[in-house]
Amino acid sequence: MNDLLSALLLGILEGLTEFLPISSTGHLLIAQHWLGARSDLFNIVIQAGAILAISLVYRQRIWSLATGWRDAASRDYALKIAAAFAVTAVVGLPVRLLGWELPETVGPVAWALIIGGVWMLLAERFAESRPDSTTITWTIVVAVGLAQVLAGVFPGTSRSAAAIFIAMLLGLTRKPAAAEFVFLVGIPTMFAASGYALLETVGEGRAGSEDWTGLAVAFAAATVTGFATVRWLLGYIATHRFAPFAWYRIGLGAALLLGLPAGS
């Protein structure tokens, strides 16, 4: 398949799956078995394209947080976003440097999809039995930061799913509020990850071998599709459960385990 077309399709896939709790990384790894493998820089930076989309969706919220330091509630919320990002950075950087992650093959991704789907069903059921709340405690802040690290270690976990559902389990039971906090924490997280991956690529002398045109096409596609997807998702979760996404994960993971040869 033409490299640019492949990059375009991967960018669209990233934009569609980054914010849905079905694992964008898992879907990209699976798709690349047929569309051709891409570099770590490609896989990370196109996620930043989707994060740019969330920045556009929440641009008014971000502006109010950036300019609302005199308001105690805004200041507290912004500090908690920064703290969750700090937890991810402080724990995640050593994890990355030590290479602590599962192999990026379809087998581990399939298991992560299934386990994550079951976890979502159980977590949502438990959260729904608790009082409705939009309070973000410091326990939730730390847990969201650690959940993002966990998603990086286990491809197929889904950063958004891991973080949203741990927040819900710990008391942030209003789904739109949990999603907003997790998405906003994801903005500095993914931009920092993209910057780090770019510095690694340049520092190791791999910049000349990178498909920058394909990366730009995928980044733009991820931004456009990500914007449309997150606008739809925020409306959906206000009145619907996450269960369909959980069953999709379980079904896809099972299909992969049944359809792929051992070692894939």
The reported pLDDT for the residue numbered 64 is 93
Residue 261 has pLDDT above 60, yes or no: no
pLDDT grade, residue 1 (50/70/90)?
low
Q: Which residue has the tokens 């190791």?
A: 204
Residue 208 has pLDDT above 80, yes or no: no
Mean pLDDT for the stretch of residues 155-172 = 91
Mean pLDDT of the chain: 88
Q: Give residue-wise pLDDT tens across range 15-60.
A: 999 889 998 877 887 888 788 888 878 888 888 888 899 999 999 9
Q: What are phi and psi of 240, to 5 degrees?
A: -130, 165
Angle between helices 159-169 and 138-153 (to 10 degrees): 150
Which of 8-12, 75-79, 105-109 is predicted least confidently? 105-109
Q: Give residue-wise pLDDT tens across range 106-139.
A: 788 889 999 999 999 999 999 989 888 999 999 9
Classify each residue of 31-69 as buried b or exposed e, where b means 16 or more C-beta atoms within 10 Å of its C-beta.
bbeebeebeebbbbbbbbbbbbbbbebbeeebeebeeee
For the whole model, what pTM was predicted?
0.87
pLDDT grade, residue 263 (50/70/90)?
very low
Q: Give residue-wise pLDDT tens across range 165-182.
A: 999 999 999 999 999 999
